[in-house]
Amino acid sequence: LPKFIEAPASVPADHAAELTAGLLARPAHVSPKHLYDALGCRLFEAITALPEYQATRTEAAIFAAQGPEIARALGTGLTLVDLGAGNCAKAASLFGLLQPGHYVAVDIAAGFIRDALQALQLRHPQLPMTGVALDFSQSLALPAALEAGPRLMFYPGSSIGNFEPAQARRFLQQVREQSQGGALLIGVDLVKPLAQLLPAYDDALGVTAAFNRNLLLHVNRQLGSDFDPADWAHLACFDPEASRIEMHLRATRDLQVRWDGHRRDFAAGATIHTENSYKYRIEQFDELLHEAGWRSTRCWTDERQGFAVFGARA
């Protein structure tokens, strides 16, 4: 069985205080990390299969076409640290190329990665694996119990886009410190025409809407609140100045929500901001990597320049 480490920072009390502050703010906001309970993880997997959501497929195509060159640039045999591992499928598809000496899957969704990692260990019995349940949205500090040595930090899927750029810079600095002199492999979604961007966050089947509204069920479980997802509509828009997609939930009627001695009135049309997804230009992200202290950056992209995979050394 893979080792499993549950980091103390992910205790529910921390989440409750943070959620309460966000829900009482004007306008209300909830961190996108709360999108990922077990159902949210499954809905996100479904999103990655939608015709409108190209990012995951394009990234996989870049790995498929340029994998050997990527592996040459970054080196093989390192400890592969998979940040936001989810179902671990992306990292597992690169085991052959990257030949990791140890695989460390890190995710906020403890139960989800525990299951994914156990299944993966059966398919790769020789590869030492460790699961780490950790909320790294505020800061990244990997458990000291992990073995030392250079690490290949893997952050695919443009999850970096869910941080504000200043936070992203700080996070990338922390990732560099935690790499222990190793390397970085990171996926970034690029700016593209609105006609492609918007449907990716407002698909015809309503899967992204379900993903967004499911956040309220997760919040209810954590806070004991009484949100009814049926009262909330999914809203996605693009802010060209900030170069980000925003997801919101919009109250479809006047309503009150109660939890733990608190009450928040929402008028019809009031919103809760649930996610930002920044879209970068290649030069802009390269600069961000350098500002965070990474060097020898390389970039691989698809023909349409829809998505970019960056490699860098600490």
**DSSP-assigned beta bridge partners for residue 262:** 259
Find the binder of ligand AVI among 18, 107, 135, 275 (CB under 6 A).
275
**Alpha-carbon gap, residue 184 to 155, rounded angstroms:** 8
The answer to whether residue 162 forms part of the interface with ligand AVI (CB under 6 A) is yes
Q: What part of residues 205-244 is at the interface with ligand AVI (CB under 6 A)?
A: 208
* CA distance linking residue 173 with residue 208, whole number of Å: 31
Q: Which one among 131, 157, 306, 311 touches ligand AVI, defined by CB under 6 A?
A: 157
Which listed residue (31, 159, 214, 225) binds ligand AVI by CB under 6 A?
159
Is residue 155 a contact residue for ligand AVI (CB under 6 A)?
no
Binding residues for ligand AVI restricted to 39-98, rule: CB under 6 A: 47
Q: Does 300 engage in binding with ligand AVI (CB under 6 A)?
A: no
# of chain residues touching ligand AVI (CB under 6 A): 10
Burial of residue 34 (number of CB atoms within 10 Å: 0-12, 13-18, 19+): buried
Half-sphere exposure for 312 (CA within 13 Å, toward CB)? 27
Residue numbers 277-296 binding ligand AVI by CB under 6 A: 277
DSSP 228-240: -GGGEEEEEEEET
Q: Does 201 bind ligand AVI (CB under 6 A)?
A: yes
The distance of closest approach from Cβ of residue 208 to ligand AVI in the complex, given in angstroms and rounded to an integer, is: 5
Report the nearest approach of ligand AVI to the CB of residue 71 (Å): 24
Distance in Å, CB of 93 to ligand AVI, minimum = 17
Please name the residues in contact with 293: beta carbons below 8 A apart, sequence gap of 6 or more. Answer: 172, 173, 176, 314
Amino acid code (one letter) for 57? R
Residue 195 CB partners (closer than 8 Å, separation 6+): none
Task: Give residues in contact with ligand AVI (CB under 6 A).
Answer: 47, 157-159, 161-162, 201, 208, 275, 277
